[in-house]
Structure formats: structure tokens, C-alpha cells
A and B are shown apart, each in its own frame.
Chain A
Amino acid sequence: MLQRILAIARNTYRETVRDKILYNLILFALIMILSSIILSQLTLGNEDKVILDLGLSAISIFGMLIAIFIGIGLVYKELEKRTAYALLAKPVHRYELILGKYLGLLFTLLVNLAIMTVGLELALLYTGSIGLGGHLRVLPAVYLVFLSLALTTALALLFSTFSTPALSALFTFFLWLIGHFGKDLQNFGELTKSAPVGWICRVLYYVLPNLANFSMVDSRSIIKTAGYSSAIDPMAVAGSTLYSILYCAAILSLSIAIFMRRDFK
């Protein structure tokens, strides 16, 4: 079983890594990181912070775009082009197909994140003031971005099992956006006078992906200057990892259930 999933993952990686959209997005990301160097010159003495803030945001946003653009086609293309037909007539379970595609895309994302991180580290190296510790602390930040992308990809995949690419992209992006405002939703739920609305808000808070869980490591944690730092809490990172795993597992199992029931006409 594992062997088949990995074979499908490898094939998916091969397919997605050659996707032209990918190259454009990475190019843009690298440009953004480059321009952050220029922008940072406008702030006096705060170059590192600006580069980190802009760079991490760029990685997060472009990572999200890659996850969505490729994720929405993962299943849809297989069915639209009917390449899945020959595949499912092999001794391949439907769930193996889903998991294989998911893992393949995750690996593509990993590679892209690595490229963008290298770009960021080079930019930081250029301004030269955060030291080895700072450079190393960038990695947990990118790791958290990866966790959030795993979540986004799972959602894109879910929609891909039953919806067209356009709608899938819309829904996934919408959920990604809402995912950043979880706290506001929770507050609204507490401040509202209507009990059912409050209850709905509370439920939604847990059901919707809570992306604020992955933003705890930012420039404050990476640059450690007196009076402007917050330590990276390994337990919190572990907690975020667990959250991501649980949420992805739930979404993937839903995707598999939908995919199993589908007729392929």
C-alpha cells in the first residue's frame, strides 16, 4: 500500500514540479524578497525586521497560491482528462490515489519553500546583522508556514474531489482568508447578544481552519534585540504541528469518503 502511495506521490511531484505556474510564482516570490532589501534601506536600522516581515509574508502568500492553484487541479484533472480511469483499474485503492496526490503536492511545496527560504536567508545575509542564531530561527517560521500550507492543500484537495477548479479556488481562498480572522469571530461570538449567533460563532471558530496558530514565529522571535523579542516556544510549535495533522487528517478522510462515492462517467 505504501509503495503505491509513494509511486503516485512521486508521479504527482513529477507532474507538479514541471507546472509553469509554479515557476512564475516562485519568480514573484523571489522578486518580492529582493525588493524587500531595497525597501528596507528606507527604514534606518530596521532592515532585518522589514526583510523578515516582507519575506515571510511573501513566502506565506505565494506558498498559499501555489497550494491552491495546483491543489485544485489535483483530482479534477485526473477525472477531467480521465487519466484516473486507467489508474483505478489497477490494484490501486481510491484512497491511495488521494493520499498519493496529496503527498506529492506536499513534497512540491516543500521544495518550493526551500527555494524561497534560501532566497530569504540570502537577503538576510546581505544586510548581515542577525547572526547564525537568527538565520537558524528563520527555519521554525518557515516550518509553521509549511504546516499552514499542508492545511490549505488539504482543503483545495477536498474541493477538487467534487467541484470545478474555479469554485475550488474561490472556496479555498475564502477559507484561507477567514482562517486569519478566527479571533475576531470568537470575539464577535462573545460580544453578541443573541445566544444562537454566539453558539454558531463558537462552533465555526473550531470548524474553520485557524491559521493564527501558525503565525507565532515572526520577526520578533527571530531577531532578538533587547526589549523586542519573544522566545520560540517548542511546545507551541508542537501544538501547531498536532493541530495541523489533526485538521489535515479530518479533511483528507472527508475527501476520501467523497471520492469513494463518486461515479466516474
Chain B
Amino acid sequence: MTIGNIRSVHPAMVVVEIENLTKDFSIGFWRKRPIRALDELCLQVHQGEIFGFLGPNGAGKSTTIKLLMHLLHPTSGRARILGEPVDKVSMHQRIGYLPENPYFYDYLTPAELLTYIGRLFGIRRSDLPQKVDMLLESVGLAESRNLQLRKFSKGMVQRIGIAQALINDPEIVFLDEPMSGLDPLGRMDVRRIILSLKSRGVTVFFSSHVLPDVEALCDRIAILNKGKLQEMGALDDILKVRIEGYEIILSGSRAEALEQIRTMCDEIRPMEDRLHLRVATRERMRSVIEFAFKHELDLISVSPIRRSLEEHFQRVVDSRQWAVGSGQ
């Protein structure tokens, strides 16, 4: 269990602070056997960053977010958002939340729903219509503004979910599986929204299974498994540490060069007129490059092989041990 170092140069403000947060669920009616869904989680999220929260099903991701939203009561430990304890309801004025598999009143239209929620935030009636229109526009639902939600597809529900999370111009948004159920176009839209939030200084905390998205978006991540934090830190740090080698592509090789090269490399794959080589260390990489020069082989490309987040993830969370949870 390694906790990555926080390597930011400027110590940014901590907007979410989780301290030894633990949640037990009692299963069974008579003999109460507690199941520990979250075990002594410690976590900080910094202002303005995009924080990714990963873990297999049942790891406790949703549990964590629900604890932050005070939908669940912690067994022990504390959490603070924007400096306030999570049970302070007034703090919700400044945050946004998209639940997992959201469902909204299906007899309402998006415009009605957003107006209702806007009123709950205390937004003035006169300001609401404009705000609602802007939001619907930004999530791409402008044409469906008067369609009842029960007629919405999952992707559309996801979008309205994002819209209702943003209606109060929050300082930080919590998104629980925001990409789920979306087609690639939808996922791109969500990516775009998240990035635009970041550009406006909004902190984004989201949990996801879709690792390429996390890889593309996040500044820092945490990996959770069976209720325990496995790893936390800047994405680059976590992945950089694990450069596994280099991939070199050459062309124009001759038979006897092949033999020599083979000794230097871990792996050789001839592909038509090219050679894909794999070496483990920097020194080996240099040797191959020198060799290629000497023997006038064409150097097509050299790139470091970083373990993808997916592979890293699988290694951290042994896939054979995916927890059978009682739900997150």
C-alpha cells in the first residue's frame, strides 16, 4: 500500500478532506454481522484539480461519495468539504452532485426539474429561466427542454444530471460514474464539460470505471479496493515510476544485423519491412540507437513504454480478488 507524494509546487488549498473515514453496514436481521465497506480512508482533494476515484465494483467508491453527501452516516472518522463538516447542510449551496444511475421525477420536463432545483437553491425566480436555458444548452439538451423525463434515454438523463449538478455554479462537483451509459459521443461531451469546469477553477471529483477517460482527464487519482485505499497521488507520478521500457521501430535491416540486434533486445517483432523492438532499459535503448546509426538502419520511432493505467490498475487490484460487495 503506497501513498504517493503530493508533489505540487504550490500548496493548493484542500477543498475535500477525509480523515479515517470508516463505514460499516450491518447485514442480517438477527445476528448483525457488520461488513466494512470503507476502512479508515484518508484523502485530500486540492482546489482546482480533477481528482479521479477508481476501484472495482464494491470497492466503496459510491459509499465514499454518499458519505461526503451525508446520505450515509459514518461509523467513525470525519470528512470536510470546503472547510465545513459534511453534515452542514448550508455547505451544499456551494457544491454539485451527480448520483450514480440517477433518476429524476419522470413526470417533469428538464426545464421544470431545473427550475424546481433552482428554487431549492434560492435562485431568484426572475433569474431562473435564463440560467436554465444556458445550462440546457451547455449539456446539449436544448431541443428536449419540454419533453417529459420519462421519455429520456439514459444518456439524456445523464446530461440532465450534470445540468442539475451545475445549476448553482458550484465550487466543487462530485460526479459518481458520470460516463456510465454514455455512447462515445456522450463521453466526449462529458469530458469536454469536465475540462471546461477545470478551466473555470471548479474542482472536479469523480469516480469512474472508464480508465482511458481518467487517464486523459485527471490530475490526481486514488485507487480503492475492498474499502481500503491502495494508492493515491498525481497521475504522472504513479505512472511515470513505472516506465517499463522502450519501443523502437527500425526499418531497412539486413540479415546479419538482425542477429546482433536480437541480443540487445528483449523482444523483436518483424512487421513487413519494419522491426519492432522492445528493450528494458535506457542503456539498451542507446545501444540499439547507436547500432542503427552505425549500420544505417532507419530509425522510425522511439517511445517509452509506460504501463497503461489499465494495466497498473489491474496489477494494484488483483483481478482475481474483485470484491463481492454489498453494493457501494
- Residues on A lying within 8 angstroms of B by beta carbon are 3-4, 7-8, 11, 14-15, 18, 81-83, 85-93, 261, 263-265
Do B107 and A85 have beta carbons less than 8 Å apart?
Answer: no
Interchain CA distance A7-B121 in the complex, whole Å: 10
Contact assessment for A86 and B104 in the assembled complex, using a CB-CB cutoff below 8 Å: yes
- Closest B-chain residue to A262, C-beta based? B73
Are B107 and A86 in contact, with the CB atoms below 8 A?
Answer: no
Residues A83 and B103 in contact, CB atoms below 8 Å apart: yes
From 142 to 165 in chain B, residues with beta carbon under 8 angstroms from any chain A beta carbon are 161, 164
| In the A-B complex, the 9 residue pairs with the closest CB atoms | A89-B97, A91-B92, A264-B71, A7-B119, A85-B99, A91-B93, A89-B69, A263-B72, A90-B120
Residue numbers in A under 8 Å from B99 (CB-CB): 82, 85-86, 89
Contact assessment for A86 and B116 in the assembled complex, using a CB-CB cutoff below 8 Å: no
Residue of B nearest to A11 (CB): B116
| B264 CB–A CB distance under 8 Å | no
Which of A3, A8, A11, A81 is B122 in contact with, Cβ under 8 Å? A3
Check A89/B92 contact, CB under 8 A, given A11-B116, A261-B73, A264-B71: yes
Smallest Cβ-Cβ distance to B91: which chain A residue: A91
Q: Is the CB of A91 within 8 A of B120?
A: yes
Chain B contacts with A in 215-258, Cβ cutoff 8 A: none
Q: Is the CB of A18 within 8 A of B103?
A: no
Taking the closest CB of chain B, its distance from the CB of A248, in whole angstroms, is 24
Residues of A within 8 A of B327 (CB): 265
A90 B103 Cβ-Cβ under 8 A: no
Asked whether A15 lies within 8 Å of B122 as measured between CB atoms, the reply is no
| A93 in contact with B119 (CB, 8 Å) | no
Least Cβ–Cβ distance between B286 and chain A, in angstroms:
55
Given A11-B105, A15-B105, does the pair A92, B89 have CB atoms closer than 8 Å? Answer: yes
Contacts of B93 in A (CB 8 A): 91
Q: Please give the distance in Å from A210's CB to the nearest CB on chain B.
A: 34
Q: Are B105 and A88 in contact (CB under 8 A)?
A: no
- Inter-chain CA distance A85–B103, complex, in Å, is 9
What band does the interface of chain B fall in when counting residues whose beta carbon is under 8 Å from A? Answer: 20 to 34
Choose from B108, B116, B164 the contact partner of A7 (Cβ within 8 Å): B116
Residues in B neighbouring A82, C-beta threshold 8 A: 99, 101-103
* Whole-angstrom CA separation of A126 from B72 in the bound complex: 58
Bound: A81/B191 CA distance, A: 27
Task: Find out whether the CB atom of A88 lies under 8 angstroms from the CB atom of B69.
Answer: yes
On chain A, the residues within 8 Å of B164 by CB distance are 86
Q: Given the known A-B contacts A83-B105, A263-B71, A264-B66, are A90 and B119 also in contact in the complex, defined by CB atoms under 8 Å?
A: no
Q: B95 contacts the other chain (Cβ, under 8 Å)?
A: yes
- A4, A14, A261, A263 interface centre (most CB from chain B within 10 Å): A263
CB distance from B177 to the nearest CB of A (A): 13
User: Does any Cβ of A come within 8 Å of B195's Cβ?
Assistant: no
Q: Does B299 contact A (CB under 8 A)?
A: no
Chain A residues near B101 (CB, 8 Å)?
A: 82
Q: Which residue of A lies closest to B70 (CB)?
A: A88
Contact of B316 with A by CB under 8 A: no
Smallest CB separation, B87 vs chain A (Å): 10
Q: Report which of A8, A86, A261 forms a contact with B161, defined as CB distance below 8 A.
A: A86
Partner among A8, A15, A92 whose Cβ is within 8 Å of the Cβ of B107: A15
**CA A185 to CA B97, docked complex, whole Å:** 51
B8 contacts the other chain (CB 8 A)? no
- Minimal beta-carbon separation of B154 from chain A (angstroms): 14
> Is B317 an interface residue, CB under 8 A from the partner?
no
User: In the complex, A90 Cα to B283 Cα: how many Å?
Assistant: 57
Verify B73–A93 contact, CB threshold 8 A: no
Which parts of B99-134 form the interface with A (CB within 8 Å)?
Answer: 99, 101-105, 107-108, 116-117, 119-122
Cβ of B5 within 8 Å of any chain A Cβ, yes or no, is no
B2 at the interface (CB under 8 A from A): no
Q: What is the minimal beta-carbon distance from B220 to any residue of chain A, in angstroms?
A: 23
The answer, among A7, A14, A81, A264, for a CB contact under 8 Å with B120, is A7
Is residue B90 contacting chain A, with contact meaning CB distance below 8 A? yes
Q: How far is the CB of A256 from chain B (nearest CB, A)?
A: 14
Asked whether B116 lies within 8 Å of A85 as measured between CB atoms, the reply is no
B67 and chain A: residue at smallest CB distance: A263
Chain B minimum-CB-distance residue to A260: B73
Contacts of B161 in A (CB 8 A): 86
- Bound: A62/B55 CA distance, A: 52
Instruction: For B122, give the chain A residue with the smallest CB separation.
Output: A3
Residues of B close to A93: CB separation below 8 A: 89
Residue of A nearest to B63 (CB): A265
Contact assessment for B121 and A91 in the assembled complex, using a CB-CB cutoff below 8 Å: yes
> Would you call A86 and B119 a contact (CB within 8 A)?
no
List B residues 163-209 near A (Cβ within 8 Å).
164, 174
List B contacts of A18 (CB < 8 A).
Answer: 107
Q: Please determine whether A86 and B102 come into contact, CB atoms closer than 8 angstroms.
A: yes
Q: A7-B116, A85-B69, A263-B72 are in contact. List 12 more A-B contacts (CB 8 A).
A: A3-B119, A11-B116, A15-B107, A85-B66, A85-B97, A89-B95, A89-B96, A90-B117, A90-B120, A92-B120, A263-B25, A263-B71
